[in-house]
Amino acid sequence: MEAMQGLVERLEQAVGRLELLSAVSHRPPGNCGEINGVNGGVAPSVEAFDKLMNSTVAEFLKKSRILAGDVETHAEMVHSAFQAQRAFLLMASQYQQPQENDVAALLKPISEKIQEIQTFRERNRGSTMFNHLSAVSESIPALGWIAVSPKPGPYVKEMNDAATFYTNRVLKDYKHSDLRHVDWVKSYLNIWSELQAYIKEHHTTGLTWSKIGPVASAAAALSALSPGPGLPPPPPPPPPPGPPPLFETEGSKEQSSPSRSALFAQLNQGEAITKGLRHVTDAQKTYKNPSLRTQGGQTASPTKSHSPGPKAPQSHPLQKHAPVFELEGKKWRVEYQEDRNDLVISETELKQVAYIFKCDKSTLQIKGKINSITIDNCKKFGLVFDNVVGIVEVINSKDIQMQVMGKVPTISINKTEGCHIYLSEDALDCEIVSAKSSEMNILIPQDGDYAVFMHFPGGGHREQYRSPAVGTVIWQWMEAMIHPKRNLSSYHSHFTPPKKFGTAAVQLLSKRENSLFLNNSRLHGMDPSWSLNLQKLWVNLQRDQTP
């Protein structure tokens, strides 16, 4: 009995060893990073890439978490992209180079990560860290070096140079105010410098694939990168059906032979084939019977039936987005608002920005002092704000009304149709920049109301205009004196600039004063009211210059 028990135990041990050997023999070669036998470790190139991730990439992630906000979110995406590349390098160290038609499928995970990073930047154009996001977005395609040969190193350097354009902007903005951003720039650029050194050492002429093992494929890559021993990969799907046969079978020939014979019989009739045509009477001709034109032409013959044509595809309704009105970090997001005239931002800080996107028939009031305001893709939108320390920007919008209650240094209008700017007494010295826009009005306070200070009709202004608002009329008058034959009828203003701008006006006009004012000459294209107003202005300016 004891001998039988010992025999059973030995049999169980043998079965266990056989099961283990069976699992190992069915495992794909190189599974779980084993390239030198069981637990042989990873390739030196993968180990070197791990050191790069644990040092430079980890340092960049640390600096980004200090800045927080959009920069931190973007950095997490970059870290995920490097993890996807690490998985690809591990697969390359275990498999032979794949066929060309399989490369795109193998690169898809990394391509999706790169696209995600670039999309995040485009969706956050109103971010205060937009230069940070742009530096990452413009250079992250450097991870595509694995598909570049024979010199992937210079390709990474080109992407690094693209990032430098935006990192220089970051350094310019923060090098004297916040050194955390300077450290962030150094940590990010260091990633690409270290990656170039890594490529030069391990993949000088292109990605190095394994010389042994199976050829890489999408199914093999999934099995190689999956954790645990697992089961062998499933068999490949059946091949797609082949093309249709070029020649018909005998059965189909027999079925089509009667109709084909009838067709050839009709063609062989010669001149007799016209006997089957139906005679068209005068009543059926539109030029002899005009009433057919009002009926939409000749009616269809009752002997023939016409099947209705395919219906035009119905246009899908535009997808409506949920309205957004929230403070996200340091950015106020006002998006997809419709028919709202009660929007108010009352609690503002100096470092906050406001981004207004795709709002229609709405009005927003911003109280206090804010860093900047951006209006993007809005229609029939009204904005009232107190003070802005940076810039107010209007992009790709239509029919915008803006009222300044306090001060603003710069207003930018780009690709906008219809913009009315109401300036306060304190904002008369602001700078207005416009490009590719039309129908703009600048209104300033006068006698307790607002008067049109300058009107730009469609196509009546230069491609890009840049000048202090109250100096606008003076600048146009100076242009008129330099080019006396210019037609100024498209510009309209009956406002005399304040006295504090008189000295500047005299300096601008002193070289050409005799041609217009002292000789009482009249410019071509100017109506009498313009000439009279200019003469009055000159008298006022001379009075201001009298000691």
Domains and CATH numbers, the chain: 44-218 (1.25.40.330), 324-478 (2.160.20.70)
Spatial distance between the Cα atoms of 460 and 439, rounded to a whole number of angstroms:
9
pLDDT of 50 reads 93
Count of alpha carbons within 13 Å of 328, Cβ hemisphere only? 17
CA dihedral 297, 298, 303, 305 (to 10 degrees): 0
Spatial distance between the Cα atoms of 214 and 92, rounded to a whole number of angstroms:
11
pLDDT of 106 reads 87
Spatial distance between the Cα atoms of 492 and 40, rounded to a whole number of angstroms:
84
Count of alpha carbons within 13 Å of 318, Cβ hemisphere only? 4
Residue pLDDT, tens place only, 30-46: 443 334 433 346 889 99
Spatial distance between the Cα atoms of 18 and 25, rounded to a whole number of angstroms:
10
- H or E element: which one contains 414? strand 410-414
Spatial distance between the Cα atoms of 95 and 313, rounded to a whole number of angstroms:
48
Spatial distance between the Cα atoms of 350 and 379, rounded to a whole number of angstroms:
27
Kindly give, in sequence order, each residue whose CB lies less than 8 Å from that of residue 325, ignoring residues fewer than 6 positions away: 333, 334, 335, 337, 343
Strand ranges for 353-405 from DSSP E: 353-357, 360-370, 372-376, 379-388, 391-395, 398-404
**Which residue matches tokens 């201001």?**
544
**Which residue matches tokens 């987005």?**
321
Distances (CA, A) of 448 to 419, 425, 492: 22, 11, 21
Query: Which amino acid makes up residue 85?
Result: Q
Spatial distance between the Cα atoms of 526 and 516, rounded to a whole number of angstroms:
12
Q: Exposure of 230 by Cβ count < 10 A (0-12 exposed, 13-18 middle, 19+ buried)?
A: middle
Spatial distance between the Cα atoms of 345 and 343, rounded to a whole number of angstroms:
7
Triad 402, 386, 500: Cα angle to 5°: 85
pLDDT of 22 reads 54
pLDDT of 217 reads 73
pLDDT of 398 reads 93
- H or E element: which one contains 540? helix 528-545
Kindly give, in sequence order, each residue whose CB lies less than 8 Å from that of residue 210, ignoring residues fewer than 6 positions away: 30, 35, 43, 92, 93, 94, 95, 96
pLDDT of 148 reads 87
User: Could you tell me the two tokens for 285?
Assistant: 């001709």
Largest CA distance in the chain: 137
pLDDT of 33 reads 39
Give the orientation angle of helix 58-67 with respect to helix 179-202, to 10 degrees: 160
Spans in the chain with pLDDT lower than 50 = 23-40, 225-234, 246-254, 297, 302-306, 313, 315, 459-531, 541-547
pLDDT of 72 reads 93
Q: Exposure of 246 by Cβ count < 10 A (0-12 exposed, 13-18 middle, 19+ buried)?
A: exposed
pLDDT of 81 reads 93
- The residues with which 410 forms a beta bridge, in sequence order, are 391, 431
- H or E element: which one contains 67? helix 58-67
